[in-house]
Amino acid sequence: MIKPFPESAMAATRGLHNSHGLVVGVGIKGPCPSPKCWTYFPESSSPFYRVTFLSNYSPNIAPPGHFLLLTETSYSEHKPVSRSGIVDAVVDGLVATRLITDRQRADIVSTHVFDVEYFYPVPTLDRDGALDTIQTYLLDRGILSRGRFGAWKYEISNMDHSVMQGVEAVDWLLLDKAEETWRPPARHAVTVGGPAAVRQALAAAGG
């Protein structure tokens, strides 16, 4: 935690927006209905937008003779979803999308709900200005903020992007090599004077 955190940087954080998500796992007795990894469901017949056939990833994920589905439902102030009714809504959605039959409701052996506060960083018109202020403030203090919610950029926040952001941040710091996945705000070079200045700031902070 950075204390005191200046009002200008605090005000900028109000330009960052994110969605939340309800992840529901459903364990069912019987053979998995699909050999796929996952499927997207844009239709309104289900609350979830994606189902992952999790037990297809490893025989150790579900007991023999069972399969495990993992569903993802996003929510926000613009799209409220009831947490209390989510399991029933998901099971109805599994039937509506014909992943399971109505009769298989009786074969459900377990359900699990995981409420994820930071689900997707949502791109908005005020985002880039906010990030300019925040990233410049952090870098001035020797902090490289990268990754899904570290960079807060949806378009470079998948697993592969996030890993490369970390790799490239270290290359920038140690080898002075420009980052490519994540791009610095124009003000950075002027404000911090490049990786040598950040290394100095880190050393001064005992890092």
Ligand X SMILES: Cc1cc2nc3c(=O)[nH]c(=O)nc-3n(C[C@H](O)[C@H](O)[C@H](O)COP(=O)(O)OP(=O)(O)OC[C@H]3O[C@@H](n4cnc5c(N)ncnc54)[C@H](O)[C@@H]3O)c2cc1C
Q: How far apart are CA 145 and CA 46, in angstroms?
A: 36
Minimum distance from residue 148 beta carbon to ligand X (Å): 4
Minimum distance from residue 193 beta carbon to ligand X (Å): 27
**Which one, 43 or 115, has the nearer CB to ligand X?**
115
- The only residue of 15, 20, 21, 90 in contact with ligand X, by rule CB under 6 A: 21
According to the binding rule CB under 6 A, does residue 67 interact with ligand X?
A: no
Pairing relationship of beta strands 50-53 and 38-40 according to DSSP bridges: antiparallel
Kindly determine how many residues on this chain lie close enough to bind ligand X according to the rule CB under 6 A. Answer: 12
**Which one, 111 or 145, has the nearer CB to ligand X?**
145
**Which one, 135 or 162, has the nearer CB to ligand X?**
162
Q: How far apart are CA 58 and CA 162, in angstroms?
A: 25
For ligand X, the nearest residue by Cβ is: 147
Q: State the Cα torsion 152-156-158-160 to the nearest 10°.
A: -130
- The only residue of 119, 137, 152, 182 in contact with ligand X, by rule CB under 6 A: 119
Asked if 86 and 94 touch (Cβ cutoff 8 Å), the reply is no
Q: Return the range that interacts with ligand X (CB under 6 A); candidates 56-64, 85-93, 127-135, 142-150.
A: 142-150
Neighbours of 35 (CB within 10 A): 7
**Which one, 104 or 154, has the nearer CB to ligand X?**
154
Q: How far apart are CA 129 and CA 107, in angstroms?
A: 51
Q: How far apart are CA 152 and CA 155, in angstroms?
A: 9
Q: How far apart are CA 92 and CA 69, in angstroms?
A: 14
Q: How far apart are CA 149 and CA 167, in angstroms?
A: 16
**Which one, 76 or 191, has the nearer CB to ligand X?**
76
Residues 143-202 that bind ligand X (CB under 6 A): 147-148, 150, 157-160, 162
Report the interface residues with ligand X, using CB under 6 A: 21, 72, 116, 119, 147-148, 150, 157-160, 162
